[in-house]
Structure 1
Amino acid sequence: MARAFDPFREMDRWFSDVPRTPASAAMPMDLYREGDAFVARIDLPGVDPGTIDVDVDDRTLTVRAQRKVDATEEQKWLVRERPAGTFARQLTLGYGVALDRIGAEYRDGVLELRIPVAEEAKPRKISVAHSGGPTQIEGSVES
């Protein structure tokens, strides 16, 4: 039985076995398939859009972003739960995605990456041609 192509299956299984690291906690992500594309939505509230960097090297997609803290010497912190600094998150992409057509958009504190499925990885119907003689079998009928 054939299964639908999913280049993230192994990566998703691997991440479910690994405890969340501080980097992934600072950059929580949703990943789903929508039609012919995978969509990753990464929460980056308070991040200056100019600090967001997305690149692909071989099959590894890396997202880096920086969140700065506006702190003064006069401030005396009571609670400090919002992480600051430079964060990175990496995804290992499968061979069935179109690396040259990945798109990224940052809106309302959320970075959305659209990772299209490559044309050669999309399922397709193959028609079967029939050649030859008649398809009816002739024989004698006994009465």
Structure 2
Amino acid sequence: MATRYDPFREMERLLNASVRQAPSSLAMPLDLYREGDAFIAQIDLPGVDPASIDIDVEDRTLTIRAERRSVSGEDLEWLTRERPTGTFARQIGLGLGVASDKIEATYADGVLTLTIPVAEEAKPRKIQVNHATAPQTIEHDVD
């Protein structure tokens, strides 16, 4: 019986192998958007113990770390293993216009939500223009 070589199957196998060894950004997919006066980051962390989530801000860099533990046991035989395990980290650069001291984090249903408020000094504001009247010349008759 002849065995056929399928280059697309080989590419799929290599891609699947690389996804299993995915970098942290793939293990921690992120959505980031602005809503009103805050930036919202939603990070998928299914299966992560909430106690393992660690968030730090240092020098305008926000770092998120989390751990997803592997299932283990003596009688365990893996048939398919596609979910990455271990400790993951993701960094987000914060601009000068955010209030890094007022960031809030919530974790619900496997999603970590960060609310990053815009700093007061970065919010747009109107500047009132005062209208000055033209200087008046007073004429004085000298006799």
TM-score interval w.r.t. the shorter chain?
0.7 to 0.9
Quote the Cα distance in structure 1 between the aligned partners of 2:134 and 2:53.
Answer: 65
Write the letter of the residue equivalent to 2:100.
Answer: L
Q: How far apart are the structure 1 equivalents of 2:90 and 2:39?
A: 16
SS in structure 2 at match of 1:25 = helix
Q: What runs of 5+ residues in structure 1 fail to find an aligned partner? A: 1-20, 135-143
Distance, in Å, in 2 between the alignment partners of 1:88 and 1:133 is 63
1:55-94 to 2 correspondences below 5 Å: 55-94=56-95
Q: C-alpha separation between the residues in 1 aligned to 2:27 and 2:128?
A: 50
2:117 matched residue in structure 1: 116
Say yes or no: does 1:41 pair with 2:33. no
In the alignment, which residue of structure 2 is the partner of 1:52? 53
Once residues 131 and 125 of structure 1 are traced to their aligned partners in structure 2, the CA distance between those partners, rounded to angstroms, is: 19
Alignment partner of 1:24: what SS?
Answer: helix
Please state how far the C-alpha of 1:131 moved relative to its aligned partner.
Answer: 2.1
Bigger Cα Rg: 2
In 1, the alpha carbon distance for the partners of 2:96 and 2:45 equals: 28
Q: Could you report, residue by residue, the CA deviation over 1:82-141 in whole angstroms, capped at 9, with x for unpaired residues?
A: 00000000001100000110000000000000000001011111111112249xxxxxxx
Aligned to 1:139: none
What residue is the counterpart of 2:133 in the other structure? 132
CA distance in 2, matches of 1:92, 1:28: 16
Rounded Cα–Cα distance in structure 1 between residues aligned with 2:120 and 2:80:
50
Distance 2:108 2:131 in 1: 54
Local SS of the residue matching 1:41: strand
Aligned match of 1:3: none
Structure 1 segments, 4+ long, off by >4 Å, are: none
Q: TM-score, normalised by structure 2?
A: 0.77
What is the letter of the counterpart of residue 81 of structure 2? R
* Percent of aligned positions that are identical: 68
Q: Match of 2:99?
A: 98
Equivalent residue letter for 2:40: V
Gaps of 5+ in 2: 1-21, 136-143
- Shift of residue 72 of structure 1? 0.6
Equivalent-residue separation in structure 2 for 1:42 and 1:26 (angstroms): 10
RMSD: 1.2
